[in-house]
Amino acid sequence: MKMNAYVAGVGMTHFGRMMDRGMKAVGGEAIEQALSDAGLEKTDIQAAWMSNAAAGVLTGQECIRGQVVLRGIGMGGLPVINVENACASASTAFNQACMMVTAGVYDVVLACGVEKMYFPDKAKVFGAFMGAVDVEQLQAILESLQKSAAASGATEASKSAGQNRSMFMDIYAAAARGHMARYGTTVEQFAMISAKNSYHGSLNPRAQFREAMSVEEVLAAPMIAEPLTRPMCSPIGDGAAAAIIISERKMRELGLTTAVRVASSVLRSGWDHEPGAEGLAEVCTREAYEAAGLGPEDLSLVELHDASAPAELMGYESIGLCAKGEGGRLVADGATRLGGRIPVSTSGGLLRKGHPIGATGIAQVVEVTEQIQGRSGARQVEGARVGLCHNGGGNIGSDAAAQCITILTRG
């Protein structure tokens, strides 16, 4: 829907391995940064939308996750809405916070996502991802993935799904093999995305991985699930991101001149549709463009849900950067690299910036906000005015379970 809300300040931790820090410390750091960035005090916040996806499975912290994080930095007395929506948890929190500001209920609110995924028991971590599908169909899903892999000769993908890796890598791998068979997309084109994002991540001091990789190095890395090598898969990680959202009235009252406008934000869940029909991402994107009065030709940059390299390539097609089947050519032409026609995942994306799942959606908002404000340093997109955030989560049937598309603009 069309929004009337502004991002007044953002904050984000470094993403990576934080075994010595808990969820309260990590989340609190991002919130304190966002408040400082907005020039506001804790007492100015009227409500908070707090996102986390996996703490209940990993640490047993259920029910009051947001309150725990906020009380850790002395913020109590607020209405706190805890949000869990798979990998789209943070974008969902941001969407709902913006809606309440747009509706005139609040003038100053907080949206924060925090996740701690490094855990001694890796089986528990991968088990958290298992819960992002219909668990009553879990065995059938695993058998279907194994059958698909075996039919295409994918030996690594035909074993160990969900045991030594997230089963979502097998879902992405199956989709990638299908795209290759249908459109002639190559594994080299997937590797180009990983190499591109590694270059972008090398310029981002908050990214989990800072090493730039060549296409050849990506292809030579260990195979995870054909055709995905390790750099084509997003890592687990710890981290948090936060945004302070304000009304237009409050923006004028504070005299803010650099606040970034939330032009539109669309949240939907998936549904059963015919193969080849318009899917969840396409519908959300079309509605977001219409509400903002913009189109793909107006975008300066995109933060895309590249949970795998093929996911980014197929995302190009879903959000209208190119036609179906043309994603491979788009990346091969250099269009989505910094300096190209439409830079994608300038932060390094989930592949290199990292993917603490409950923080990812707001981390995208942080990147686009800072780009529009011209403070992204070596990875700055010249003249950035409009950015799109594409964040999905979970899987049911042949589509994501949740999708959020948000468009941010200058002023």
Q: Which residues are catalytic?
A: 87, 355
Provide the pairing of β-strand 239-246 with 260-269: unpaired
Q: Which long-range contacts (CB under 8 A, 24 or more apart) does 156-161 make?
A: 156/223, 156/224, 156/225, 156/226, 157/225, 157/226, 161/225
Query: Phi then psi for 257, rounded to 5 degrees?
Result: -110, -10
Q: And the tokens for 166?
A: 């997230």
Going through 55-107 in order, the beta strands assigned E by DSSP cover 80-83
Q: Which of 359, 386, 85 is nearest to 262 (CA)?
A: 386
CB atoms under 10 Å from CB of 298, counted, come to: 15
In terms of C-beta density within 10 A (0-12 exposed, 13-18 middle, 19 or more buried), how is residue 8 classed?
A: buried
How far apart are alpha carbons 376 and 358 in whole angstroms?
A: 23
How far apart are alpha carbons 111 and 354 in whole angstroms?
A: 19
The DSSP output letter for 21 is -
Going through 147-270 in order, the beta strands assigned E by DSSP cover 223-225, 228-229, 239-246, 260-269
Respond yes or no on whether the N-terminal peptide bond of residue 222 is cis (omega within 30° of 0).
Answer: no
CB atoms under 10 Å from CB of 217, counted, come to: 16
Respond yes or no on whether the N-terminal peptide bond of residue 343 is cis (omega within 30° of 0).
Answer: no
Provide the pairing of β-strand 47-51 with 80-83: parallel
Cβ-contact 27, 112 below 8 angstroms = yes
How far apart are alpha carbons 195 and 72 in whole angstroms?
A: 39
Cβ-contact 165, 142 below 8 angstroms = no
Residue with tokens 């975008």: 299
